[in-house]
Amino acid sequence: MKKKILLIHTGGTIGMTRDLSSGVLRPDHFYASLLKVIPELSAIADIEVEIPFVFDSAELDFQHWQRLAAIIAARIDAVNGVVVTHGTDTLAYTASALSYMLRNVPVPVILTGAQKPLDELRSDARNNLINAVELACADIPEVCIFFDYQLMRGNRTSKNHINFFDAFHSPNYPLLAEVGINIEIYRTHILHPGGPFRVFNEFSPALAVLKLFPGCRCDYFQPGDDIRAVLIVAYGAGTIPLRTGDLPARIEKWLRQDKLVFLDSEAHGGRIEPQLYESGSRLLEMGVISSGDMTFEAAATKLMFLLGQYDQPEPIKASFQKSLAGELTELS
Ligand code: ASP
């Protein structure tokens, strides 16, 4: 019997149409005819299409993630898998957020998109969609991103190329599957539900992000009373300037104001190790918390998620340092 797949379209280049006079790409309602354009999809599975909104993914925020999670949760018992088509720009954020919200997801939830619209020559949309639907029929109970023949854990990915078709990478976790002549699924890399399926809904926007650059005095960065957590995107293993400017004093001030302070790195691959250098050790002593080997997307969405779940700082700090959905390699 054919598997049932819920296909949710949210917008992005994959479904955009080019305005012929200006060349600008805009969201379009191409999905009405999707199954006619790619009839192979119906050969793979029984496809049910939902279109909650159609946006460039730059427009999305946690309210859209909440809508998506609600649609998926409502249908999860009735389908074998879910495919979400989405703009590539914030795809890694949505995938990370959904992985925290849809805990112990029992079926594959595969997000995909395209670098070129489906109706253009040499588009990657067709391949990405067909393969995402095929993989959504397999036993891969995770929130994933499929892009350019590779299936990745969603909360381990970042968009790393603007022009090439291999637009996503998973710098700190191996691929879950690869598509060639055959589909290779790397079973040992796949998570298995550690408990019953549960949906967590709350998010909070009370997060501010400070990205460092040489010469940054950062005076413009004044997180207000409504901000409960600051995520610093530092250098390399988690270093900041100790002697140039007054960032350490500012961080101490935020901590005295009962804000939580977290540390990430602009480098994508590897784990931050703040204790390696003087500045990072000082931050750890102050109570700043390291984001380990999480991507920026996974860390930022996790903080918004945890700030929404908890009012008190302790469970936020403790949960940030644990893997909720495979986004972090915990040190034993
Ligand atoms: N701006 C588009 C979006 O994220 C880019 C894409 O889909 O590739 O919606």
* Residuewise pLDDT in 10s, the chain (332 residues): 899 999 999 999 988 888 888 888 877 766 666 777 888 899 999 999 999 999 999 999 999 999 999 999 999 999 999 999 999 999 999 999 999 999 999 999 999 999 999 888 999 999 999 999 999 999 999 999 999 999 999 999 999 999 999 999 999 999 999 999 999 999 999 998 889 999 999 999 999 999 999 998 788 999 999 999 999 999 999 999 999 999 999 999 999 999 999 999 999 999 999 999 999 999 999 999 999 999 999 999 999 999 999 999 999 999 999 999 999 999 87
Report the pocket of ligand 1 as residue ranges, CB < 6 Å: 11-13, 56-58, 87-89, 113, 115
Q: Quick check: helix, strand or coil at residue 118?
A: coil
Q: Quick check: helix, strand or coil at residue 117?
A: coil
Active-site option among 10, 13, 157, 239: 13
Active site residue 188: no
- Calpha distance 128→132 (Å, rounded): 6
Delineate the domains of the chain, giving CATH numbers in brackets: 3-199 (3.40.50.1170), 207-320 (3.40.50.40)
- Cβ distance 302 to 275 under 8 Å? no
Pocket test for ligand 1, best of 10, 13, 28, 118 (most atoms within 8 A of CB): 13
Pick the residue whose CA is nearest to atom 7 on ligand 1.
87
How many angstroms does the Cα of residue 246 sit away from the middle of ligand 1? 38
Total Cβ atoms within 10 A of residue 203: 23
Residues 6+ apart with CB under 8 A from 58: 87, 89, 90
Q: Which atom of ligand 1 is nearest to the CA of 91?
A: 4
- Calpha distance 203→66 (Å, rounded): 9
How many angstroms does the Cα of residue 13 sit away from the middle of ligand 1? 5
- Calpha distance 19→35 (Å, rounded): 23
- What's the confidence (pLDDT) of residue 275? 96
How many angstroms does the Cα of residue 317 sit away from the middle of ligand 1? 33
Pick the residue whose CA is nearest to atom 8 on ligand 1.
88
DSSP letter for each residue of 2-32: -EEEEEEE-BSGGGEEE-TTT--EEE--GGG
Which one, of 98, 125, 165, 157, lies nearest residue 13 by Cα? 125
How many angstroms does the Cα of residue 200 sit away from the middle of ligand 1? 27
pTM of the model: 0.96
